[in-house]
Structure 1
Amino acid sequence: MAVVEALLLQLVDVGLPTKESFITHTVKQLLYARTATALTAPFCCTGREKRWYQEFYTTHSQRLQAREAAREAYPGLNRDEVRDWLMRLKGEMVNFYGVPPQRTYYMHELNFYLDKETREVKYHRMFPGPPVKSPGSKDAISVLFTLGADGEVGPGMIIFPRMVIPERLFESLRQVPGGKEWVLGSSANGWLTGDCVLEFVSDVFVPWLRKRAIRFPAALFSSECISGVSVAPAAAHFMAQGVQLIPVPREVAGVLSPVEWMMGYRLRWHWGRVVKEWSDGHDVKPLLEEHFAPFIISYLTNKAVPTKVTEKFAKFGICPFDPQAMFHFLLKYHAMSKAEKTRMLNERV
């Protein structure tokens, strides 16, 4: 466990929360990712897990407490701010459509860590964050894609931290079912830029809608920040193409994203298990960058069960658009106790 503890301390330094749930789940991820045989629990029981965490925290208390003091918490939206945002949103949507839209999509971003030496792809909840907040953060692989209210995973874009993308990455994309709907791109460090978002919507998403004879206009929900860059300035450009971009305040974007509920949570908390299941089925280990496109596309497609996706869009008040339902869901979620939120999280997997 000495090696695992050393890795944990490095991850704490780049943003991993020091609470017991985060630390113990990360231990499981690290061990699962390196296990060649059948999955076994790292701890024999809950009591042993708690004792190990207490020993770990006591041993490294000074370092952990220093990191806790340095962490910045995002301010939440209060009830009045949420209500004001929803009322503005309702007016904007009615003005654009005349009636609430029926064709609705959610654009979501996923970020992964790429080891420069081994070219292995990893995913950690403690990911250091966009270069805007962490200028020295490590190379990333970023994924931008859409999920429709009908349950269909739309087109996607994968950004690699390369100047030139090698042919083997394009070949891996061509071999996966549904890969024709995806494109590969590059940036200096693998993070999405404002230009990436513009190109994705204009050159990938809109043509994809037209190919399917989708009636315009279409509503496209998204977090107000993609890789730390505001998407709001692009709204007018998208509007001219028949797509209304609806930026969701980042304080509530994770709660209102159907993608986060159905896909992101499992990746974040069960990365080692997810990778092992896919690797065993494809006889591939470790997960290198040339395996990433088949892995992520198949994962997203398999998790997008149409009935469940439609249920989430409706529950969150996204489609059909219902600002009152959205408001009450946010109030209910933020009023939940930690135990209630934990139970809800476990239902996502």
Structure 2
Amino acid sequence: MPKRSVYDSDLVEPAVQDVKTGKLSLRAAAKKYGVPKSTIEFKMKNPGHKDTCGPPPILTAKEEYVLVEWIVELAKRGFPRKKEDILNSVQKFLLENPRPNPFKNNRPGDCWFKAFLRRHPSIVQRTSEAVSSASACVSEADIRKWFAEIKIYLKSKDIDMEDPSRIFNGDETGFQICPQTGKVFAAKGEKNVYSIEKGSAKDNITVMFSFAASGIMCPPMIIFPYKRIPEKIAVTVNSSWGIGRSDNGWMTSETFYEYIKNIFYPHLIENNIQFPVVLFLDGHKSHLTYELSLLCNELNIEVIALYPNATRILQPCDVAVFRPVKMGWKKAVRQFYEEKPGEVLNKTSFAPLLEKVVTEVIQPNILINGFRACGLFPFSPDNVDYSKCLGGTNKSVRVNNLYNFSFQLMI
């Protein structure tokens, strides 16, 4: 019996694509990828043919190849996927692309997952090294390593980091309708000092901001806790700002998708920003959806995850913007009640008051200085204030930090 060739099945598809597109000859592709010429030829003639015995998989070979690329790419970029994440993605894909399958509610089970791993030996289950105790473990060495990896990645993508108008940082923050009053004056020895609240202390409204290293602010998005936003609230929001909604008023993956598509991207087009652009984000789960990955790839937006638990060091929003904005908000709320003692600050009056605060507080020099202090523009680890690092300088943390889901879905 002739000896069977041993090769990585995950390399067959890229070899076939290189030959089809004319990038490589059949012989060159076989040599580069270690796949027999006969296998490449067979796959080109029989693209739907599977390699294993038994019934065909539910996903086609090409669909599984895209899934593998997605998993590998995310692991490289700071967001390694767990088993549940992969099964969720496949379930969503099957719901959107119906076909006969034995799964309950289109969700694959353990048997499918094990078979998937057998078909793709390049994917293995690993134990990721978590960054524990929050930022207490972040060291200067960790951050410098992050900068080095990002620099290599951006260079490989031929992305220009010399234009501040193409470098952005985005994050969401919450505003209390009734902020804490702070210290007040009362008679000496008085044990019980109260301040009557004129609004709900529990009401908190989330707002999504994005800023450019050039000192420009993108239109924010206010996220209200409604299933359907009342018209009396919607009309109070500046027409250039975004209005989002979620059940609890927090940022969700759906809301963040709408922000990128309907607010952030149109702002780039309106201001003639050259693509691709770089958007630095933290690792919040709302930034990690499959749909967003396709959108960012389509819109030429390169999203990069900041080093875990280091946003207080690396994120301009946290370093330079949110603190003065929150202070300005508290001051504005006090003035509101002083000038309108009979009124109550609520969701209807929130947007106009916030717009006033943002206009007064967020100035170009604050944003420019924030990006410089975080080392994001100019892109240099030497500009970072390492006195904020509480971790030991000899601690080595493996960084999976790049994120843009830049794979192509060709199905």
Does TM, normalized by the shorter one, top 0.5?
yes
The Cα of 1:216 is off from its aligned counterpart by 1.1
* 1:253 paired to 2:325: no
Distance 1:250 1:289, change over 3 A: farther
Consecutive unaligned residues in structure 2, runs of 5 or more: 1-131, 181-201, 392-411
Distance 1:278 1:261, change over 3 A: farther
**Conservation of the 8 A alpha-carbon contact between 1:101 and 1:219:** no
The Cα of 1:109 is off from its aligned counterpart by 0.6
Could you tell which deviates more after superposition, 101-110 or 269-278?
A: 269-278
Instruction: Give the distance between the partners of 2:244 and 2:230, measured in 1 at CA.
Output: 11
Instruction: Give the distance between the partners of 1:216 and 1:243, measured in 2 at CA.
Output: 7
Q: For 1:296, which of 350, 354, 360 is the aligned residue?
A: 354
The Cα of 1:159 is off from its aligned counterpart by 1.0
The correspondence of residues 1-349 of structure 1 with structure 2, limited to 5 A, is 73-75=133-135, 76-102=137-163, 103-113=166-176, 121-123=177-179, 140-173=204-237, 179-225=238-284, 229-231=286-288, 234-235=292-293, 237-266=295-324, 268=326, 272-280=330-338, 285-326=343-384, 329=385, 331-334=386-389
The TM-score normalised by the length of structure 2 is: 0.51
**Conservation of the 8 A alpha-carbon contact between 1:157 and 1:185:** yes
- The structure with the largest strand share of the pair is 1
The Cα of 1:82 is off from its aligned counterpart by 2.1
The amino acid that maps onto 1:203 is N
- Residue 353 of structure 2 aligns to a residue whose secondary structure is helix
| Cα deviation digits, residues 49-93 of structure 1 (max 9, x gap) | xxxxxxxxxxxxxxxxxxxxxxx9525323333233222211222
- Residue 251 of structure 1 aligns to a residue whose secondary structure is coil
What corresponds to 1:24 in structure 2? none
Instruction: Give the distance between the partners of 2:150 and 2:379, measured in 1 at CA.
Output: 10
The Cα of 1:189 is off from its aligned counterpart by 0.7
**Count of residue pairs brought into register by the alignment:** 235
Instruction: Give the distance between the partners of 1:319 and 1:296, measured in 2 at CA.
Output: 28
What corresponds to 1:46 in structure 2? none
Instruction: Give the distance between the partners of 2:313 and 2:267, measured in 1 at CA.
Output: 27
Larger Rg, first or second structure (1 or 2): 2
Instruction: Give the distance between the partners of 1:91 and 1:284, measured in 2 at CA.
Output: 59
The TM-score normalised by the length of structure 1 is: 0.59
The amino acid that maps onto 2:172 is E
- The structure with the largest helix share of the pair is 1
Give the root-mean-square deviation of aligned CA atoms. 2.9
The Cα of 1:190 is off from its aligned counterpart by 0.6
The Cα of 1:232 is off from its aligned counterpart by 7.5
- Residue 97 of structure 1 aligns to a residue whose secondary structure is coil
